[in-house]
A and B are shown apart, each in its own frame.
Chain A
Amino acid sequence: MNVKQMACIFAVLVVLSCLCISVASAHRMHVVHTLSELEIEAYFGGGTPVRDADVKVYDIDGNLYIEGTTDEEGKFRFPPKIGMEEYEVVVNATHMPGHKGETTINLSQVSAGAGGVGTEIPLYTRVIAGFGYLIGIAGFAMAYVYWKRNKK
């Protein structure tokens, strides 16, 4: 009984002391954050930056939020709008009419500061994949041709 009472008091003390920690910290430190700009980068396959391209940023409802042009490195920065989580960025190359790229930025899902097609599979893998498809198509075509010949 005695031990039980002691334990109860001890437990209450522990809980109380825990509650006191935050209250007692007199030197409160403030950490605030600002998200000053979002950066997008546009480049052609092979890594050439898309210079002087028209950039248009739309909000989730499709309203134009901001527009501008990319710099020499194909980059364009714009301040995010408070309360707006999703942006639709459309880049139109002016030096190469007919070339257009789009990406959707979702701030709640941005991880490690990068997104879009920058996270694509390496080029050589895609070249090998292409050759693979071609060999496959050629194989099917040959199989078909020989099957037809044997039928005759």
Chain B
Amino acid sequence: MVHISDGILSLPVLAAGWAITIALLAVAIWWSKKKGNLEEEIPKLSVMTAAFFVASLIHIPVGPTSAHFILNGLVGVILGIFAFPAIFIGVVLQTVLFQHGGITTIGVNTVNIGIPALIAYCIFKWGNKGGMTLMRKELSVWIFGALAGGIAVFLAVIFTAFSLVLSNEEAFFAIAIAFTVAHIPIIIIEAIITGSIAVFLLKVKPELIGGLGDDD
């Protein structure tokens, strides 16, 4: 439920959303040119975008409403900076095909979901720095993966509440608390999913986890 519809946000907020989105997309493209191994990333990017795209269809009823999965923490942990373009494409497809959110709010929605994903990546990367024995590494990957997954959803909720407040001057805390409460099950489940998938990939194919790379 972090997709804001058309006709709710004020023009400056919409414009700011698009500006930040375009700037971060440019950074991601520049980054991929600098690194120069984009072709290895493309299948991974596509799979994660697909997962993000369909995750929003899974609803969990909470009280009088329902909340859906976002999966931005997982996308962030695995893709790193490329999480942002992946989420942008995912949001565009969700808008066009599922009517989640509006065309004019694609920018804001990408920022609200994508920046928490980048923050999740930073948390995960920071938490797993330094050489460790494999056993302890597994534990730290799980803990920081779960932390990243949970915080990404929480921040997406807070960002959404904030962009609504910027447009309407409503009580921020009332909206933020209502949103967060509705997303508590999602935060817990996504934390577990992100932590478990990160550990699984660590055992099976650790180079798939962008957040564990040393070179960037």
Contact = CB atoms under 8 A, between A and B. Distances in A.
Chain B CB within 10 A, most for which of A98, A126, A145: A98
Given A100-B5, A117-B99, A130-B93, A48 B66 contact: yes
B45 A45 contact: no
B98 A101 contact: no
Contact of B98 (A126, A138, A145): A126
A134 B89 contact: yes
Main secondary structure of the interface of B (DSSP, over half): helix
A141 B38 CA distance: 9
Interface stretch (B47-55, B192-200, B205-213): B47-55
A133 interface: yes
B65 interface: yes
A98 B5 contact: yes
B64 A127 contact: no
Interface of B: 1, 3-8, 38-39, 42-43, 45-46, 49-50, 53-54, 57, 59, 61, 63-66, 68, 89, 93-94, 97-100, 160-161, 164, 170, 175, 178-179, 182
Given A96-B182, A100-B8, A101-B5, 13 more contacts: A45-B100, A46-B57, A48-B66, A93-B65, A95-B64, A95-B178, A100-B5, A130-B53, A130-B97, A131-B53, A141-B38, A146-B39, A149-B39
Interface of A: 44-46, 48, 51-52, 93, 95-102, 117, 123, 126-127, 129-131, 133-135, 137-138, 141-142, 145-146, 149
